[in-house]
Amino acid sequence: MKVCAYKQVDVFTSRRFFGNALAVILDADGLEGEQMQRVANWMNLSETAFVLAPTHAQASYRIRIFTPRSELPFAGHPSVGTAHALLETGMISAGPGLVQECAAGLLPLRVLGDGADRRIFVRAPRARLLAAESVPAQDVAVALATQLPVANQPRIVDNGTHWLVCDLGAAGAVRALDPDMRAVAALSARANVVGVTVFGRAHDADHALSVRAFCPGDGIPEDPVTGSANAAIGAYLLATGQLDAIGAEFRVSQGREIGRDGTIDVRVDVASGDVEIGGQSVTCIDGTFLLPPERAR
């Protein structure tokens, strides 16, 4: 049996059994993609990350990221959670020049603080917004089972992962949603996106936006706390001229509706368009994972 060091980490929270759970296989060299996908499907978490030796000289390490059904070029909570796990084990250090290699490219990371107060930020791939008419608003309204504000056209944002971003105006509309998951899955397939993410403005002292993300087509009806979706929202706000009203640095609440209550910090560089997402993480499981060395069947 191949014995792999393994951690399960709650990301975007400082409390165990909150945030978004991530499985991290810390020494995945030698595993094939088919084996990784089988493990991720068995884990049945929103994502599982596999740590590999880097192929670029600038990279500190490399990861591959899998949902239960597919591989992703980039995802935020696996990026933050894997860095947490590697720092905790001493496999990397927190100095300047920390770079993650993934299918979306080389992504810089920043580490603030230490121990339980440590926050890790990853720079998402530069975002691109697709044409406003690429997804009919009425189709989105039907899938979400709600009325969309007339002024806020849903947009597809590509930041390594394709998200359909919907501005619902107010946090109350976000928290009250009860989407038709079959319709969301069908819409996601037609639009070629991983899922639909919605946000609304919160008049709350501890966060600016409330966010939810739905990915039923990828085996994740509602993702607890979603880094790439929040990076997409930051890019959407900048591109649509709405960032000034919120600020270039803001905090997001996500996951309360499913008992996770996570927090993400978003930082938008107005000049470059780069978006960083970050937060705290905490380890829940630390041990080994056993896998047959031969190709999974």
47 is catalytic: yes
Q: Which of 32, 34, 47, 88 is catalytic?
A: 47
Q: From 9, 156, 13, 155, select the one nearest 83 (Cα to Cα).
A: 9
**What is the rounded CA–CA span in Å between residue 113 and residue 11?**
16
Cα dihedral sign, 285-290-294-296: negative
**What is the rounded CA–CA span in Å between residue 211 and residue 233?**
9
Catalytic amino acids? 47
